[in-house]
Amino acid sequence: MTFFEKLGTRVHEINSLLCVGLDPRAENANDAREQCWRVMDATRAYAAAFKINSAFFEVFGGEGMNALREVIARAPQNIPVILDAKRGDIADTSAAYARAAFETFGATAITVSPYLGSDGLAPFFENAERGAFVLCKTSNAGADEFQALWHGERALYEIVAERAQTWNVKNNIGLVVGATDPARVARAREIAPNMWFLVPGIGAQGGDLEATLRAGLRDDGMGLLINASRSIASAAQPGEAAKKLRDAINEIRDSRFEIQKSESGNQKSKIPNAEQQLANDLLASRCVRFGEFTLKSGQSSPIYLDLRRLVSYPAILKRVAHAYAEILARLEYDRIAGIPYAALPIATAVALELNQPLIYPRREVKTYGTHATIEGEYYAGETAVVLDDLATTGETKIETIEKLTDAGLNVRDIVVLIDRGQGAGELLGRAGYRMHAVTTLPRLLEIWRAAQAITAEQYNAVLDFLNR
């Protein structure tokens, strides 16, 4: 069997996507070995795979290497063992690393770095019975420093996901995609719909289990290995902790693939894309609420959108920034211009995401100091792309654009998170500007209603309000 055929067999046998990570914090090689053995023995009934971090054995030299070999040998033959070593070098060196991992230590799979290109990874792919997980979008805080860099219209991690598919001719290559960024898990799944993902970041790193599963599961309910290390190893009863996490994963898997009724009959729900993730996030953060609200215009509305709340949800704000970034990657501009006040935190997050300079026009002219009307550095003749949270009629966008053009800046594009569908696009279009929206309120309503997150009465009330 190929590596992923073997893994799939194990997953089906015990109905588990749990990968138990072994990262022993020990004073010597013997302690490291004993720690791992204790966790392996306690969790083997629930583990689809074990992932062993070689660094915690290498630190003890030869004794550590012997202990690593003994830990790998402890695993039952039907449980794959992934050596977390993140190898990748010139061809001959990689060939030696591959022999060490698969022959000397007896691992079933290994994590590898794609930085040196395909020739540096080829030795790890040669044997179909041995697997390799290519680092794509990792879970550490500094991952975006390189992995989110844009090349043309794609981020680097997206290119890695595309290339890895072309390498996967023997069904033994997967991707490492961290749970700390579910929006990019969803994007990686869009690019690589059939590949297996090794997913670190659940537990001590704070990854969102439900968001990750909903973003990354394949249509068959498979395709993810959810890794947990410290949260299991440090538990008083590692076996119970593993069972609890396995069951939590399965509960989400089951709910994710419930049959939903539609006008065309019974249909299986699809893997959520970034737009569906956004719809979930907006409800979870209460940025969208249903009821009776008086708007600034004096109108009574059955829905209220308050995107200022995003500042209290950094993980969601980061996903929102990524959604803006995907649109901005197709546009030409020199600076991002955020509209005060609700859009300023969003614009800041987007600027950090893309490493692009940010400016913003003041609502009131500064009456002291520099008397600035626009904060931040800019130069006449540059092009600014305007960012806002919502689009309703478009009038406030025109006011902002006028301040920017009065300062000598050019504006062609406006990007918003949600277009309410009440005429903003048409107004801006007549004025010679292009408006881009991550999503629209009518589209969100469709998603929420299909997921039964809102009632038919709420759905109809908002549609009636929008169509007045």
Q: What is the pLDDT of residues 242-299, one digit of tens each?
A: 999 999 999 988 876 543 333 334 443 343 457 778 888 898 888 999 988 887 767 7
3-class secondary structure, 43: helix
Structure confidence by residue, pLDDT tens digits, 136-192:
999 888 888 899 888 877 889 999 999 999 999 899 999 999 998 888 888 899 899
36: its two tokens: 């791992």
User: What Rg do the C-alpha atoms of the chain give, in angstroms?
Assistant: 25
- Which of these is catalytic: 86, 170, 243, 244? 86
The predicted pLDDT at position 262 comes to: 34
The predicted pLDDT at position 369 comes to: 65
85: its two tokens: 């070593």
Task: Walk me through the domains of the chain, giving residue ranges and CATH numbers.
Answer: 3-256 (3.20.20.70), 276-466 (3.40.50.2020)
Which residue, chain included where needed, has tokens 């009440």?
422
Structure confidence by residue, pLDDT tens digits, 223-248:
999 999 999 999 999 999 999 999 99
Element (H, E) at 72: helix 61-74
Sign of the torsion angle spanned by Cα atoms 240, 242, 243, 245: positive
Q: How far apart are CA 103 and CA 106, in angstroms?
A: 5
Residue 452 per-residue DSSP state: T
Smallest CA-to-CA distance from 207 within 179, 186, 177 is with 179
Q: Are 416 and 307 in contact (CB under 8 A)?
A: no
Q: Which residues of the chain have pLDDT under 50?
A: 258-272
Sorted by sequence, the CB contacts under 8 Å of residue 442 that are 6+ apart come out as 421, 463, 466
- The model's pTM is 0.62
Kindly give the residue spans of alpha helices, DSSP state H, lying in 194-303. Answer: 209-216, 230-233, 238-256, 274-284
Q: Are 87 and 101 in contact (CB under 8 A)?
A: yes
Which residue, chain included where needed, has tokens 């089906």?
12
Q: How far apart are CA 319 and CA 315, in angstroms?
A: 6
CA angle 318, 229, 16 (to 5 degrees): 90
* Residue 86 annotated to the active site: yes
Q: How far apart are CA 5 and CA 356, in angstroms?
A: 44
Q: How far apart are CA 73 and CA 69, in angstroms?
A: 6
Question: Which CA distances in Å does 302 have to 394, 418, 456, 461, 468?
Answer: 21, 17, 13, 6, 13
Question: Which one-letter amino acid corresponds to residue 200?
Answer: P
Question: Which CA distances in Å does 371 have to 111, 338, 362?
Answer: 55, 19, 10
Strand 265-268 relative to strand 259-262, pairing = antiparallel
The predicted pLDDT at position 261 comes to: 30
Contacts within 8 Å (CB) and 24+ apart, 454-462: 454/290, 458/290, 458/302, 458/303, 461/302, 461/303, 462/290, 462/302, 462/303
- DSSP secondary structure letters along 79-99: S-EEEEEEE--SHHHHHHHHH
Element (H, E) at 187: helix 182-191
Other CB atoms within 10 A of residue 35 CB: 18
The predicted pLDDT at position 110 comes to: 98
The predicted pLDDT at position 210 comes to: 87
Question: Which CA distances in Å does 425 have to 43, 89, 392?
Answer: 56, 51, 9
